[in-house]
Amino acid sequence: MIGCTKKVLPGKSGQMLGLKGHQNSKIIHWDIITIGNLSRNRYWGESEEKELHPVICTTTIITGKDFHVIVDPSLKDGNAMAAELKRRTGLTPDDIDVAFVTHEHGDHHIGLPGFPKAKWLAGAQVAAAINSTAKYFKKVEPAGSTLFDAIDVVATPGHTPGHTGLRFDYRGLSVFAAGDSVATKDFWDEGIMYFKALDMEESKRSMKKIASISNIVIPGHDNYFFYL
């Protein structure tokens, strides 16, 4: 029945399904703002030799009772980023408290200037890397181990050395905004990082870690998927 409110994933039955999150989460909503893509995709039969498509990353919004976090703002044009945010969430950039960046590759932080009032955060190594190269009007600050006491900042090195993802609980599910520690679902299924991996073995270890602590993975360049 459409609209049925019967709970199907709580407590013990959820644990039997392998759910790894907690019910008592401070997160009340999360969603994808832009679905990313790759500049070349081996699963589409494309060579990895050269760039074939304009690329954007996946942008995620994570909302609590009194905060909004945007992860990896993808669009350079601030008006376009604001329009996507409005279209998907009804929010404006000024509603965003934190813009979090998973790693220092430009396609994951190019949209930061569209959020001038938000605090810009990243793992310490990533923040230093962005601040040393990008010419933004303010600095990216190092994040602590959690955001709003509700979202875990988790080291997932390999794609870049300081790469970090965000893990949070939602209705008993554990959700992981992975940035480029997971490129797309196809790469995840094969258990490899895409051609840009700085350290492939470290990448594989990070993906195993993500698999062990999450049920839903949000890749850096694809839509989210379930993993039980």
State the nearest-atom distance from the C-beta of 105 to Zn ion, in Å: 3
| Residue number, 25 or 74, with CB nearest to Zn ion | 74
Cα–Cα distance measured from residue 28 to residue 40, given in angstroms and rounded to the nearest whole number: 35
State the nearest-atom distance from the C-beta of 158 to Zn ion, in Å: 11
| Residue number, 173 or 197, with CB nearest to Zn ion | 197
Written as one string, the DSSP assignment of 76-120 is SSHHHHHHHHHHHHS--GGG-SEEEESSS-GGGTTTGGG-TTSEE
State the nearest-atom distance from the C-beta of 159 to Zn ion, in Å: 6
State the nearest-atom distance from the C-beta of 106 to Zn ion, in Å: 9
**Beta-bridge partner residues of 217:** 176, 225
Strand order in the sheet with 164-170: 146-147, 151-155, 164-170, 173-179, 216-219, 225-226
174-203: contacts with Zn ion (CB under 5 A): 180
Structural tokens at position 48: 């990895």
Cα–Cα distance measured from residue 63 to residue 66, given in angstroms and rounded to the nearest whole number: 8
| Residue number, 10 or 106, with CB nearest to Zn ion | 106
| Residue number, 19 or 101, with CB nearest to Zn ion | 101
# residues near Zn ion by CB under 5 A: 2
Instruction: Establish if 105 lies at the interface with Zn ion (CB under 5 A).
Output: yes
Q: Which stretch binds Zn ion (CB under 5 A): 60-68, 99-107, 117-125, 142-150?
A: 99-107
What is the binding site for Zn ion (CB under 5 A)? 105, 180
